[in-house]
Structure formats: structure tokens, C-alpha cells
Amino acid sequence: MDMETLLAYDWGIMAPEFTIIIVATLLSLMDLFLPNHFPRKWFSAFAAMAVLLAFVFTIGQLGQEANMILYDTYRLDLFATSFKLLLLIGAGLVLSLAASYQRKQDQGEFYYLLLTALLGAMMMASSADLITLFVGLELLSIASYILVGLDKHALKSNESAMKYVINGGISTAITLFGFSYLYGLTGSTQLTTISEILPSLIRTPAQGLVIMAFIMTFVGLAFKISTVPFHMWTPDVYEGAPIPVTAFLSIVSKAAGFIIILRVFLTLFGALEGLSLNETFMQSMSLWIGVLAAITMVLGNILALRQHNMKRLFAYSSVAHAGYLLVPLVALSTLTLENIWFYLLVYMFMTAGGLAVIFVLYEKHGTLDLEMFTGLYKRSPALAILMTIFLLSLAGIPGTAGFIGKLNIILGALSTDPAPIILVSIMIAATVLSYVFYFGILVQIYFRSNPFPVTIKLPIVMKTTLWICAIAIVGLGIFPNIALDFYHHHVDLFQITEMLWLSE
Amino acid sequence: MGWLTLLVFSPMVGILLLILVPSTQDKLQKRIAVSCSILPLLLALIVYQQFHSGANLSLSIPWISFGQYPFLYTIEYDLGVSGFSLVLIILTAVLMVVSMVTATMQIDKAWKQYALLTLLLEIGILGVFASQNLILFFIFFELTLVPMFLLIGRWGGFEKERAAYSYLLYNGVGSAILLIVMVVLFANVGSTNYEAIANASLSEELSMGLLIALLLAFGVKLPIVPLHTWMVRVHVQAPPALVMIHAGVLLKIGAYGLMQFGIGFFPAAFQDVAPLLAILGLVNLLYGACIAFVQKELRSIFAYSSISHMGIVLLGIAAMNEAGLQGAMFQTVSHGLIAALVFFLIGVLKAKTDTTHMRRLGGLSRTMPVTAGVLLAVGLASLGLPGMSGFVSEFMTFLGIFESMPVIAAIGTIGIILTAAYILRAIMDITFGKEVLPQDGVMDLQGKEWIPVSIMLGLIVLIGVFPTSLTHSIQTSVEAIVLRIGG
């Protein structure tokens, strides 16, 4: 590759990534060279500015023609842009949470590790090649492993980092194993090339290997979104990690997981002929994914019923939500991307909000037990009402965005033919089951008397974050078209269907 | 905007005012709550007047759209009323005022929150009856869930949290089933507007399946035995002022849903299910009456009495003819008033004597003559004494059911006798039984307490004596339904 080729690329389309990487590098250098007494808290402002700038760049990219650079390994299309916006919003929320986090030592590494992980996630959204995809995935994963163990002196944090690395390593190995099948079968790592060769393998003896590749890749990637069978790490890691990192895992990392799954599976298998006539490969596999989705939803909610530790409860709730998010993937339609996009957006706000409240109460009372909410309404009515909004949204009660997200998914699923009625019924049943523990928290907030006679004062950044989340949830719950129209206007369905070969 | 939107969201005024006034000013808070609950009633009366002067009240604005052209689903914000739903709206508004007045006397702790939640509940209920669109209906329907949960769980009796949870779970399951029905209809018809669905042609199996799901969903709400346990718990545990609304209107959503959606959407399939529904109604009627007969506690008696009376509604619906439907609608309204008044009286007794146990209330006629008298009056209305609203409802219902299912009707008459038996026994025991209450210290109805009593008793007698006051409104709804079932 000579200079001329390098300069010929339209580097402008990587502007958001460049912003993030430059600021991450700057921050790491500053951390090295700045004197020890310089408060690293200021890094959060730099990081937030980087995220904001990248957000602005990404907005500017909306509506652009699809473009590929770097020997067709990096692809910028509306899929990438729309999901990068989500990642950036999520990262912004995590940063604002982190801004009020009081560590024992002032650590600068949090911010540049976070940006690095974000960069990995953004690369995944844009990758058009298995190698780029994998590099993005590992960038995200390795940065997250360190983030989880960031509280060096906390035993729990160390333990969960260890668990995360081991589980993550296994899942990465399995993903890579799946990728190796794909490469072995087609001789290419290019997603488009693979998708062109794969159809010739169906209904030949190599078909079994294609299925193997599919299952291995899926199982490996299931780790990131914490669905069954790779959900076991979730509660332990969520519990051990510092709260902003927990938020990062459940918001950005999970979204990234869905992005990579959509990218790989829809590009490679979306239009692939199925095992029997008149169906696509994804439809042939839908029973399998459907079963995983169902188990994930039910298990996540059942296990959440027994949790008293709030971080663990949110971990299982996050497992359950991953199950809901798999439903659109089972029932592929033109609504699939919209469904997942919207639900992820909503999920970010409600989880960030919920974890923020937990964070505030944890700082105040030093406990993560359910009893932290006891009598919250008496102590801080505003915080209680905010938490109520987040919980109602997580439970999917109308009036909140969580409901619209679920309705959207259910509608999308039932508009396909044949409609997965059983799966949708399981989803709805799981939702009702989840009422028990979400409303259990409300019981603590409103019905029980107050054991902590302290009043709570919120830092201004925290207050703003909470209100933004709540307003977003109620706003999108009553006028979901604010987000949906944005998606409709900027994301050209035809380009997406073209990319995913959904157009038949 | 339209009158209906104003009406549905008018309790917001109260909510905002209550938020602005600090909770230390208890008196002012109570005054605001009561006067703000009158506002929806005024608007409801305006809507009533407009409706009868033939004004077009319905309204439809595109609200949420999913997917992109040409795969577009749009949910409209559709409001509108029929004669029957309008009557229920007025019932809601009236009971809300009455319940709010009652609450000022009975709710001591955290009045502000209580009033806020009740007003929120009112938005939900009004919205349910004013929706012309399934998804909108569902949203309002679920909106009632959260305030009810909090109200029962916070202000209820000894086992309040358990009652709150069973309320939440049973109704959650009910609405989950409803959600499936809704979305299946949406995916099949492409709209959730009532009219659009009613005019859509669905396959026979699909209609049958959806109808059975609907029966389950509204069966929980109504409630149909054996889905009734939550309702008894709520009746016994929730504060009486809230039970007035719960028994008075919330249960009616089930009946309304069965008529509006069950018959409205699937008239042919409904014809096939009607015998089953009649049997269920019979079970409700007899089971409720029998259990009520052996209860020793007033709230339980009237909880089971509600179940029994809902059986009559079911029978009326199952009759599938003009008289039966009219009876069912009459019973819906009449039971709303009667139950509300009964639970008002129970609240009064609870507040003044600190018991609702029959054995400890004996000889009431001596200590609280007026209360005992009103209790007797409402008891008589409940068992269907001519001249009271209960009579018209039962008469019409049985007229209808005798026409279409004589055997079931004949068995059903046993229910009427049982009703008379348990109500008279309960009231006799209380009013004239062995005197146990101390003469002094217990005070009879006074001051503000007259407001709810006179309003409700007045309406009960009014409907009993001039049934036309109600038929006037519901006749169009009855005719519309009868037209659909081709009778």
C-alpha cells in the first residue's frame, strides 16, 4: 500500500472513529505525563466532548451513500450510522454517570479505556470483513475486561474481572472457530464475498458445515449480549464491576453485540436459501434462535425474582431484555432493524436511569441490597418518581417508551408469515412475570417505612442525566414518532434491504 | 382537541394543582381534590348533552407509525363514544366525585399522594371508555393498573400488599392476553380502530381463537369464576373509598369489553360461545350467592355479591337479544351505583365502629338508625326490589335469557332467591340482631356523609322508577349490537 492509495481513500467517513481514537490517545498521554495531583476527573469532560463531536460527525453522515474503504473492509452505510448514533448516546450516558463516581484513587484510565471500547464497538458497526469485525470485537472486549477490574483493591471487582476474562476468552474462541469455518468454506473473510459463495454450498455435503459455522458464531456472539447459553457471567460481572462499568456493559457492550449479530447474520445468512424449499436460511434456523430467545426471557425473569442485590437484579433483567431483543431476529421482516434500533435506544435510557438511581443510593448508604429503596419516597420524592418511571418502562407499562418498544417488537413479529405466536406469547408472559420484581421495588419505595433518615442531594450532572433519561422515556412513550420518524427519514429502507438482501 | 380529549385529560388539572400545593396544607389539598374531581363530571355532562344533540364527538389523529412505506402500520388517536360508553363515563365521573368526598373523611395518611393517584386512575378509566381504538384502549387500561396497585398496597388493610400483588398479576395476565389479541388483529387488519376491525373479514378459526382469548382477558376483569380470587382480596383489603371505584367502574370494563369487542368484533363466533358464557354466568350467579351466604364479614359478603351480580351481566350478554343486552347494560350501571353505595356504608361503619364483622355490628337500627335504613334500602335495590335500579336490570336480563335459553334462565332464578336470602340475612342480622355496639360514641350519618348517600340513592331510585332515563342513552348501543348479531 503506497501513499497514493492511502490518500485516495475517503478518510472523512471515519471522522467519528478518528475523533474517538485521537482523544483516547491524548488522554492516555496526559495521564502519563500530567503530575499526579492533577485531578483526573477532568478527563470526563474531554471524553464527553469527544463523544459529542463524534456524534455530530455521525449525524452529518446520515443520508450519505454507502461507501467502502480500506480494501472493502470498512463500510459506512446507514446501518452503521444509525447504530453508531446509539453507541454514542450510550457512551454519553455512561460518561455522565461516571462523572459523579467517586473513586478512592483518581484513575484516568477509566476514560480512555472507555473510549477505546467505544471505538471497538463503532468499528464493529462499520466492518464489512470478518477480520475487522474481530478486531473491533476484541478491542471492545479487552478494554471491558480491564474496566471491570478497575477497582484494584476490591476483591469483588478482581474476581469478576477474572470471570469475565475467562468466559470472554471462551466465547471469543468459539466465535473465531465459527469464523474459521466461514473462511474455510469460502476462502474469503469479506462478508460480501462470503455471502456470494455460501448459496452454492447449500444442499451439498458442505451444508452441515455452514450450519456449524452459523451455530458457532451465534453462540460465541451470544456472550456479548448475554443470552443463554452464555449468560452466566452477567450477574457476577455486573455485581463486581464499578457501577459506571456495569452501565457500560449493559448499554454499549450489549448494543455492540446486537450490531455485530445483525451485521454478520443478516449479511451472510439473511438471503441465503434455506434447508428446505421456500424459506431462507435464517428461517430454517429461526426455531433454534427462537428457543434460545424463549429460554433467555423466561430464565432471566425467573432468576431476577430471587435477587436482592440490585446489580444482580439488573443483570438478570438485562438477560431478559436480550431475550426480547432476539425476537425480531427470529421473525425477520423489514421491521427487524427498526425494532432492534428503537428498543436498544429505549433500553439505554431506562437502564442508564435505573443504574444511576442505584448508584446514587449506593454512594449514600453503602449497600446494594433491595432495602436501599426502602422508604425512598419519603426521603426523596423526585428520585422515587424517576425510579418509578424507569421501572415502569423496564416492565413495559404503557405511557413509557418501554411499552412502545415491546409493542413494536410484537407487531413486527406478528406481521411476518408464519407468525411466531408462541414466541410472542412467551414474551408477553415473561413480561408479566417481570412485573413481580419491578413492582417489588416499587413496594419498597412507596409502602415500606424509612430506615435511612438521610436526605439525598444529587450532584448536578447526575440530576441532569436522570432527568434526561426520564424525559426521553416518557417523551418516547407518548410520542415515539420522534425517534421512529428520525429513523424513517434518515435510514433508507431500500439501502438496508439491499445490504441485507431482505428485498425478496 | 375536542370535548372528549378535554374530558379524558381533565383530571390532569387536579394533578397539577395538587403538585403545586405543599402537602402540609391538608385542608386546601382536600378541597382541591374534591373540586377537581367535579370538573370531569361537568365535562361529562357537556359531552352527554352534545351527544344527545347529535354533535359529532369522534376524533381521529394519526399518532404512531411503525415501519416504512409500504409496510406502514399507523396507530391513530381515536376517541369517540357510544351511548353505553357515555353512560359509563358519567358513572365514572359521578362515582369519582363521591369517592373523593368519601376519601376526605376516611383517608388520613398521605392525602396528597392518594388524591394524585386517584385522579390518575380516573384518566385511565375515562380513557378506556372513550377510546375507539384497541391500542389506545389498552394503554388507558394499563394506566389504571399502576395507580390501583399503589393505592391498594399503600392504603389498604392488613394484607394489602398481597392484595396489590394479586391484583397486579391477575390483571397483568389479563391484559397480556388482550395485548396478544390486539396485536394479532392489528397485524391482520392493519388497524386497531374498532370500526375497521368490526368490518374486517377474519377467518372463522381466527375469530373463534381471538374471542376465547378475549373472554379470558375480560373474564379476569369482570371477574368470571374461577378467575375471581384477586377481586375478593381487593374488595376486602382496599380502602372502602377505593373499592367504590373498583366495584363501581373498574369491574365494568370487563362487561364493556365483552360487549364492545366480543360481540362487536366477532358476532358470529360469539353466537357459538353464548351457551358457554351463559353457563359461566350461571356459575357466577349461584357460586357468588352461595359463598356470600356463608360469609361473616360485610366486605366479603358484598365482594361475593359483586361476583354474583356480574353473573347476571354475563347472562344478559349471553342472551344475545335486545332485552338481554339491555339488561346487561342496566345491570352494569345499576351494580356500579349499588356497589359504590354499599362500600361507602361499609367505609362509614368501619370508620365509626372499627369493625365490619356482622356479629359485632348487631342492633345497628338502634345505634345508627339512618345508616341502617340506607343499608336496608341499598340491600333491597341489590336484590331487585321493584322501583329500584336492580329490578329493571334483573327483569330485562331474565326476559332476554328466558327467550333464548329457557333452561338456564330457570336455573338462574334460583340465584335471585339466593340473593334475597343472603342480603336479607345480612341486613337483618346487622340492623335488628343482638345489640352489641355501645349506644353512645357511635354517630350516625352526618354532614358531608349525606352527599354520597343522597347522590347514589337518588340515582338508584331514579333509574328504578324511570328506566327511560337510561334507555334513552343505551338504546342506540343495544340496537347497534343487535344489528351486528343479525337479530
pTM (2 decimals)? 0.90
Contact at CB, B66 and A419, closer than 8 angstroms: no
Q: Looking at CA atoms only, how far is residue A404 from chain B in angstroms? A: 9
CB contact under 8 A, B179 and A428: yes
The β-bridge partners of B66 are B73
Residues of chain A neighbouring B68 (CB-CB closer than 8 A): 334, 338, 488, 493
The answer to whether B165 faces chain A, any CB pair under 8 Å, is yes
Q: Which of B260, B244, B287, B442 is nearest to B354 (CA)?
A: B442
Cell of B366: 338502634
Among residues A455, A230, A390, which one has the least CA distance to residue A322?
A: A230
Q: Would you call B168 and A480 a contact, using CB atoms and an 8 Å cutoff?
A: no
Q: Distance, in angstroms, between B99 CA and closest chain A CA?
A: 22
Mutate to test the interface with A, among B64, B72, B152, B192 (most CBs of A within 10 A): B64
B154 touches A at CB < 8 Å: yes
CB contact under 8 A, B165 and A436: yes
Q: What is the pLDDT of residue B307?
A: 92
Residue A337's closest chain B neighbor by CA? B67
Which of A410, A417, A436, A486 is the mutation pick for testing B, counting most B CBs within 10 A?
A: A410
Phi, psi of A398 (to 5 degrees): -55, 150
In the prediction, which pLDDT does A502 show? 43
Name the one residue in this structure whose C-alpha cell is 398479576: B169
The answer to whether B161 contacts A447, with C-beta atoms less than 8 Å apart, is yes
Going by the DSSP 8-state scheme, the letter that residue A151 receives in this structure is -
CB contacts, 8 Å: B183 with chain A: 407, 410-411, 414, 424
Q: Calculate how close chain B gets to A483, using CA atoms only, in Å.
A: 11
Contact A398 B150 (CB under 8 A): no
Of A419, A435, A493, the CB nearest to B68: A493
CB contacts, 8 Å: B230 with chain A: none
Tell me the angle at which helices A78-99 and A481-490 cross, rounded to the nearest 10 degrees.
Answer: 140
Output the average pLDDT for chain A. 84
Cβ partners under 8 Å of residue B339, min gap 6: B243, B244, B247, B248, B302, B306, B309
Q: Name the interface residues of A facing B (CB cutoff 8 Å).
A: 333-335, 338, 392, 397-399, 403-404, 407-408, 410-412, 414-415, 419, 421, 424-425, 428-429, 431-432, 435-436, 439, 442-443, 446-447, 480-481, 484-485, 488, 493
Which chain A residues touch B73 with a CB distance below 8 Å?
411, 415
pLDDT of residue B119: 94
Burial string for B60-87 (b: 16+ CB within 10 Å, else e) reads eeebbbbbbeeeebebbbbbbbbbbbbb
Rounded Cα–Cα distance for residues A420 and B184 (Å): 11
Q: Which residues of B428-446 are buried (b: 16+ CB within 10 A; e: fewer)?
A: ebbbebeeebeeeeeeebe
Query: What is the Cα Rg of chain B in Å?
Result: 22
Q: Is B145 in contact with A428 (Cβ distance < 8 A)?
A: no
C-alpha to C-alpha distance for A218 and A241, rounded to whole angstroms: 26
pLDDT (0 to 100) of residue B442: 65
The residues near B1 (Cβ < 8 Å, ≥ 6 apart) are none
DSSP B55-105: ----EEEEEEEES-TTS-EEEEEEE---HHHHHHHHHHHHHHHHHHHHHHH
Q: Contact B153/A447, CB-based, under 8 Å?
A: yes
Does residue B375 contact residue B345 with C-beta atoms inside 8 Å? Answer: yes
Q: Indicate yes or no: CB of A411 within 8 angstroms of CB of B179.
A: no
Q: B391 CB contacts (<8 Å, ≥6 apart)?
A: B381, B384, B385, B464
Identify all chain B residues contacting A398, using CB atoms and an 8 Å cutoff: 138-140, 142-143
* Contact (Cβ atoms closer than 8 angstroms) between residue A58 and residue A113: no
Q: Do B64 and A404 touch (CB under 8 A)?
A: yes
Closest in A338, A432, A488 to B176, CB measured: A432
Q: Which residues in chain A are closer than 8 Å to B180, comparing Cβ atoms?
A: 421, 424-425, 428
Q: How many CB pairs under 8 A join A and B?
A: 94
Mutate which of B15, B73, B77, B183 to disrupt the A interface (most A C-beta within 10 Å)?
Answer: B183
- Angstrom distance (rounded) from CA A160 to CA A144: 11
Residue in chain B nearest A427 by alpha carbon: B176
CB atoms within 10 A of CB B345: 25
Copy the grid coordinates of residue B345. Answer: 356504608
Fill in the amino acid letter for B275.
P
Contact between A398 and B138 using a beta-carbon 8 Å cutoff: yes
Q: Which residues pair with B61 in a beta bridge?
A: B77
Question: What DSSP element (H or E) covers A40?
Answer: none
**A411, A428, A431 member nearest B73 (Cβ):** A411
In this predicted structure, what is the pLDDT of residue A1? 59
Residue A168's nearest CA partner among A130, A201, A142 is A142
Query: Mind listing the pLDDT tens digit for each residue in A219-246?
Result: 888 888 888 878 888 888 988 888 888 9
Cβ <8 Å between B179 and A442: no
A488 interaction partners in chain B (CB closer than 8 Å): 65, 68
Quick check: B146 contacting A, CB < 8 Å? yes
Nearest to B172 among A424, A425, A432 (CB): A432
Q: At what angle do helices A421-446 and A381-395 cross, to 10 degrees?
A: 170
Residue B243: how many CB atoms within 10 A of its CB? 29
Using CA atoms, how far residue B375 sits from A418, B128, B364, B371, B429, in Å, is 58, 31, 10, 6, 12
Nearest Cα neighbor of B11 from B142, B134, B116 is: B116
In angstroms, the CA B144 to CA B234 distance is: 14
Determine contact: B206 vs chain A, CB below 8 A. no
CB–CB of B183 and A424 under 8 A? yes
Cα–Cα dist A379/B261, whole Å: 45
- A446 to chain B, closest Cα gap in Å: 7
- Is A421's CB within 8 Å of B184's CB? yes
Please indicate whether, in this complex, the C-beta atoms of A442 and B186 are within 8 angstroms of each other.
no
Spans of chain A, pLDDT less than 50: 501-504
Subunit contact B138:A397, Cβ cutoff 8 A: no
Alpha helices in A187-309 (DSSP H): 191-197, 207-225, 233-240, 243-248, 254-261, 267-269, 281-305
Between the CA of residue B24 and those of A74, A111, A379, B13, what are the distances in Å? Answer: 63, 46, 16, 20
Nearest partner of B190 among B76, B283, B295, judged by Cα: B76
Distance CA A390, CA B16 (A): 21
Partner residues linked to B76 by β-bridges: B62
* Residue ranges, chain B, pLDDT below 70: 1, 68-72, 437-442, 487
**Contact residues, chain B, for A431 at CB < 8 Å:** 176
pLDDT tens, A143-169? 999 888 888 888 888 888 898 999 889
The C-alpha atoms of residue B55 and residue B2 are separated, in whole angstroms, by 11
Q: Is B138 in CB contact (< 8 Å) with chain A?
A: yes
Residues of B in contact with A414 (CB under 8 A): 183-184, 186-187
